[in-house]
Structure 1
Amino acid sequence: MEQIYINPLVIQRADPQIYKHTDGFYYFSASVPAYNLIELRKSRTINGLAHAAPKTIWLKHDQGEMSQLIWAPELHYIRGKWYIYFAASDTTALDKNGMFQHRMFVIESSSPDPMSSEANWIEKGRVETPLDSFSLDATVFETNGTLYYIWAQKDPTIAGNSNLYIAEMANPWTLKSEPVLLSNPEFDWEKRGFMVNEGPAILHHAHKFFLTYSASATDENYAMGMLTIDDNQDFLNPDNWLKSNNPVFQSDLEIGQYGPGHNSFTVSEDGESNLLVYHSRNYTHIVGDPLYDPNRHTCVQKFTFNGNGQPVFGSPVPYTERGGLK
């Protein structure tokens, strides 16, 4: 019997990540509407995350560089320890270029259970990059014993709000190599409202790595793009990454799903299906900055691969299982 997933899965949670650990549990992290803390949820099943009690594992500081706008936490298990990567700022004010002022940070726990009272999360500090500029949405992946860091950052010499970069890591909180530019907003669909490449996520299948990302403003223009590389190539050579000309996942006006993006990947309970995790809205009229509209909801849906081994994400699923959101 095919597994049917609740959609939206978690209400008012943007930038979602679902990670299935070796203990058999799914762990869920996302931005909370108040942008003031990091919480985790845990369940044996995907649908169970809809009802799992969230646990706050870290609170923003009262002042300083980790005191405002806590964005997009991602949970990773690296070499026997848990890490959460997130972005934070010391102010809600915009800079002279009209941009937020985030930098990237990481916390660490050696507890077997990241939600236990003994987890004791340690602040490892800021992940330093050569550019001291707006940066966010870090993710990591490891292959052949090498750990890589991918993130979004503003380069003052390049038009737009953010580009995608990759670097090798010396450890889970320190870059080892110089950053390499992988993608910047160049197509029309990447420049609607704002010129943005952000929210990277990594998928491995059939000897290829796929790097999905989100582009344009966080309203109905938000859409997902993708870069592809063979897994035996040099990840730090930007020429090895092939960028898709068109979005691979975008708003569907017929079913009323808008701005799907900032995705992650996981697998079904039986391990047989690949799952796309993302946020979306079911309306377009937003008063004020879309970032402060709380109704980006977490969704999850199955996807397949075509004959060339490329992921086929299809269209966003309609909201069907939550009363009042149909």
Structure 2
Amino acid sequence: MSTEYSFKGWVGSSNDCIEKQNLVYKDIEPKRFTEDDVDIRITHCGICGTDVHTLTNGWGFTSYPVVVGHEIVGTAVKVGKNVQGIKVGDRVGCNADNESYCKDMVGTYNGKYPDGSMSTGGFADYTRVPGHFVFKIPEALSSEIAAPMLCGGITMFSPLKRNGCGPGKTVAIIGFGGLGHFGVLFAKALGADKVIAISRKPNKAADALAMGADDYVATDDNPNWASKHANTIDLIVSTVNSPKLPIDSYLQLLRHRGAFIQVGAPEDSVPGFNILPLIMKAVHVTGSLIGSPKEIEEMLELAARKGIKSWVNPWPLEKVNDALQAFERGEPRYRIVLVNEKHAQK
């Protein structure tokens, strides 16, 4: 396979690049290639909330210019001699992970390698990444279905699996959107007895039930929702990005030794909460970030075996500025996947 290719991508240069729709397609500089690396010709890349927070500098640590996108699927076109299990021509995915808790982590994008170069993401034609974070995509999963699982999917699968989701458990997913829909899909696939989707509005109830949820709670329409479901849930995964989290109400839902896991990352501080449930019911409150490469492969194998499909809206990569506007308006049901059409057709 030819290695004559150039690295070009859609670059954001300021915190108003989404608002002004001015991501620009231009040359990008990859890291220096080593025998531990893989070059990927990108065919698909999902859009997730992290991309938006980074482009807008909502979390306060973006280094511009930046090429975002970390739900990457494509074809390996160059493979270093030290990389195991991947060969040129393989259909692969890429994301970073338990390494996500490492203080010296280099992210898929907006990170600095030891040689001083910056990592670049999947809103591009090609990316160069350490082979440790590259894995084959199961044949049973199409690229557009697999791509959003590489951040959105694993962000939900990991805390569910690590906190005992399975037979005998009642699980609640708070916030039914791009992340939340994966929560329902994977909670059911992991064998939870009952899965409840909790969202503000009732307009997504039919979708949640179609994905396997056993119940749907629209909090705006049910002022007593917390007391009605009090002490009935073993595990809660919250995807909410707003800092206005009614944590006291969420903890009210938990049974003895239940767990509340936050995966949504608000840009502002969340309010304090009543500490008594931690004492009286021995519940614990924690958070989770993405998942390990091993967990990603386990998740993909489960999805392939059980026929789990992301609910996606494909967009041409060349219309990334329009796609980001649609994302900001909350239009996707439930993930946008950018398709690099000149590569997807090969």
Fold equivalence (TM over 0.5)? no
Which structure is higher in strand share? 1
Which structure is higher in helix share? 2
- With normalisation by structure 2, the TM-score equals 0.29
- With normalisation by structure 1, the TM-score equals 0.30
User: Higher relative contact order at CA 8 Å, sep ≥6: structure 1 or structure 2?
Assistant: 2
Larger radius of gyration: 2
